[in-house]
Structure 1
Amino acid sequence: MRILIVGAGSTGGFFGAKLAKAGRDVTFLVRSQRLSQLQQHGLCIKSPAGDIEIQPQLITSTQIQGPFDIVLVAVKAYALDSALRDMDAAVGPDTVILPLLNGMRHMDVIAEKYGADRLLGCACKVATSLDEEGRIVQTGTFNDIAYGELDGSESERIALVHEFMRDAGFDAKTSKTILRDMWEKWTLLAAMGTINCLMRGSIGDVASVKGGREFATRAIDEVVSIVHVVGRALSAPFLTEAHRLLTLEGSPQTSSMYRDLIAGRGIEADQIIGDLLERATAKGMEAPLLALVYTNLLVYQAQLDK
């Protein structure tokens, strides 16, 4: 099988480099700036589990010569529309599209363009970022990816995708509850993003001050109450662990959106916070903390765009 990874940033580059290192047929679809950087320096991962450096197969949108078996979409959510245009020639009748984006809006966008039958659900967990030299830096050791049919069924293509993804240096698994997995990930990202971005600190920073744990608990409960109405029922073990992780004193954990904000980069405010707030509003639900952090992030984004 051949896989096209759309985007060679911190997430797509990480999983793609691992797959290529394991001998899979991996091609990265990139824009001109990243193309030049990777041609000159290669694709490098700095990780506690061991560094990786490869010379990746690279193409731009005009160089796509036909469909791939798998197209893994690994761009920031605000870049999705342009990514779909770039990858269009790579999607054929039997292509499986595997999106690694945050939130759920991207599922509707991709399904509208290519049909829901091309889509698999996917949820990945990895803490990575790009340094100033374009290297992928992994913090922590977790690197999990789960995928499955949206209806929870087993299928031949899931078996083929799993055979391609497994034993490649990260934890890959199939899931019969992939939509719930995705909603749980969104819940965690929205709650953590609210806590980090509104308080401008890590989970531990917030938990250590007077009123911090109470604020974090309110943020979690607000997000969870919305998801239960507009999304999927969340599992009891997930809820217990989410409350523990997001109120843990001494924790250095931060959301990727907060790390982007601190670094002065573009953020996924619309996809992680705004879309959830919009769904809540459509159901007549009040979400004061989400509304507050969303306005806060829009001010930041407007200043960045000047």
Structure 2
Amino acid sequence: MKVCVLGAGALGCAIGGTLAEAGSEVWLINRSKVHVEAINREGLLMRHADGERTVRVQASTDCHGIGPADLVIVLVKSFDTRSAIEAAAPIVGEQTVVLSLQNGLGHEDILAEVVGRERVLAGKTYVGGVMLGPGHIVAGTRGKHTHIGELDGSISPRVQRIAAEFERAGLATTVSPNILGTMWDKLLINVATGALSGITGLTYGPLYSVPEIEQTALTAVAEAMAVARASGIRLSMQAPRQAWEMASAGLPPDFKTSMLQSLEKGSVTEIDFINGSVVRWGEKCGVPTPVNRTLVAAIKGIEHRMKQGAQAA
């Protein structure tokens, strides 16, 4: 299977590198010329719990010259979804399937507007990744599941083929007949740790050592679960602590959430698509979300401070 990873940062490299190592034809697409050149020159260096290994994989800063893919995995930042899929026209052929594994809610609708709803699959992954340098990542794949599905809940041959390709590479993958519920399950994970890690600047080890942080996380997840249930979403989790514990399962103490990584790079975050989604859905169904609203405000404040600092410089 020919797979193009659109937005091959740490997570995209973890998934794409794992697929490539198992024999899939993989292209990693990332705007960073330094990152791409390092991968093409030296290979992708992946650090796992049991050591490091180098994977030979193709990389590019754009989609020209690659040709149509069987599968395009979308992992760009939420706010870049439309521009990225529009620029991906050269790799989207008549038989190409587009799979979003992004954090948060709402990306599938954006993708469908550009490539057609019939091409789009939804999914969520618990695989993790941290960028250590150009062409060098920490890959958290062991014990981390990926869930994919058709938007209409059907179990189609194409989604089964993709799941089989992932499984062959050692990426535990399930085809979900309840993909909206699956997406909310992953959202709960992001709600548990993303904003709190970004606000405090803590990696998972110290983050999980502060009781007050744990209690705030559990309350934020409880709000999100209440919103989901009021909206008719079928969740697999029954208690907030499940999301809190799943967020860190199998990951090292120095693991950084994507929100913390964004802030450390001086970039805006995906807060509007994560805790912000909880707030918006809560407003629609009449469920109060004060903790999530506060976390959104805090992250927005940090982003504003960074913007002011950049302008002053």
- TM-score, normalised by the number of residues in structure 1: 0.85
**Structure 1 residues 114 and 220, CA gap change in structure 2 (3 angstroms):** same
Seen in structure 2, the aligned counterparts of structure 1 residues 203 and 36 have a Cα distance that, compared at 3 Å, is closer
Paired position in structure 1 for 2:280: 278
TM-score, normalised to structure 2's length?
0.84
What amino acid sits opposite 2:183 in the alignment? M
Please give the alpha-carbon distance, in whole angstroms, between the structure 1 residues aligned to 2:32 and 2:102. Answer: 22
Counterpart mapping for 1:74-223 below 5 A: 74-139=75-140, 141-198=142-199, 201=202, 213-223=214-224
On the 8 A contact 2:123/2:149 being kept in 1, the answer is: yes
Cα separation, 1, equivalents of 2:232 and 2:306? 32
- CA change 1:258–1:142 in 2 (3 A) is farther
Moved more, 132-141 or 154-163: 132-141
Contact persistence 2:218–2:240 (CA under 8 A): no
1:229 aligns with 2:217: no
1:269 counterpart letter in structure 2:
I
Is 1:123–1:147's contact at 8 Å kept on the other side of the alignment?
A: yes
Structure 1 position 179, deviation (Å): 2.2
Task: Tell me, yes or no, if structure 1 residue 17 matches structure 2 residue 5.
Answer: no
Deviations 1:164-214 (A, max 9, x none): 222213222322232211111002211333444455556775676575554
Identity of counterpart residues, as a percentage? 28
After superposition, the Cα gap between the structure-2 partners of 1:293 and 1:133, relative to the gap in structure 1 and judged at 3 Å, is same
Cα 1:238–1:86 shift into 2, 3 Å: farther
1:269 pairs, out of 268, 271, 284, with: 271
Determine the structure 1 residue equivalent to 2:6. 6
Unaligned runs of 5+ in 1: none
User: How far has the Cα of 1:238 moved from its partner?
Assistant: 6.2
Q: Displacement of 1:95 after TM fit? A: 1.2
Conserved 8 A contact 1:217-1:247: no
Work out the CA distance in 2 between the residues paired with 1:10 and 1:2.
20
Paired with 1:247 and 1:162, the residues of 2 have a C-alpha distance of 24
CA contact (8 A) 1:203 1:246 kept: no
Q: CA separation of 1:204/1:51 partners in 2, compared to 1, >3 Å: closer, same or farther? A: closer
Q: Contact 1:146–1:175 (CA<8 Å) still a contact in 2?
A: yes
1:204 and 1:65 map into 2 onto residues whose CA distance is: 40
Relative distance call for 1:223 and 1:197 in structure 2 (3 A) is: farther
CA 271–231 in structure 1, closer or farther in 2 if over 3 Å, else same: farther
Q: Secondary structure at the match of 1:136?
A: strand
1:196-255 CA distances to partner (integer Å, 9 max, x unpaired)? 44555567756765755543332222121122234612135565623656899xx95764
How far 1:114 sits from its partner (Å)? 1.7
What is the CA RMSD across the aligned residues, in angstroms? 3.0
Letter in 2 for 1:63: H
Residues 194 and 289 in structure 1, CA contact (< 8 A), matched pair in contact too:
no
Q: Are 1:6 and 1:72, in contact at CA under 8 Å, matched by a contact in 2?
A: yes
Aligned counterparts of 2:74 and 2:232: Cα–Cα separation in 1: 23
Task: Name the residue aligned to 1:299.
Answer: 301
- The total of aligned residue pairs comes to 304
- The answer (yes or no) to whether the contact 1:99–1:122 under 8 Å persists in 2 is yes
Rounded Cα–Cα distance in structure 1 between residues aligned with 2:106 and 2:197: 22
SS in 1 for 2:225: helix
Q: 1:239 to 1:233 in 2, by over 3 A?
A: farther
Distance 1:203 1:135, change over 3 A: closer
Q: Which moved more, 1:259-268 or 1:284-293?
A: 259-268
Q: What stretches of structure 2 of length at least 5 have no aligned partner?
A: none
Question: Contact between 1:213 and 1:247, CA under 8 Å: does it hold in 2?
Answer: no
More displaced stretch, 140-149 vs 13-22? 140-149
The whole-number CA distance in structure 2 between the counterparts of 1:289 and 1:198 is 13
Give secondary structure in 1 for the equivalent of 2:88.
helix
CA contact (8 A) 1:194 1:290 kept: no
Q: For residue 63 of structure 1, give the secondary structure of its aligned residue in structure 2.
A: coil
* Alpha-carbon distance, 1:265 to partner: 4.4
Change (3 A) 1:263 1:28: closer
The change in CA–CA distance for 1:106 and 1:286 in structure 2 (over 3 A counts) is same
Does the aligned pair in 2 maintain the 1:72–1:99 contact within 8 Å? Answer: yes
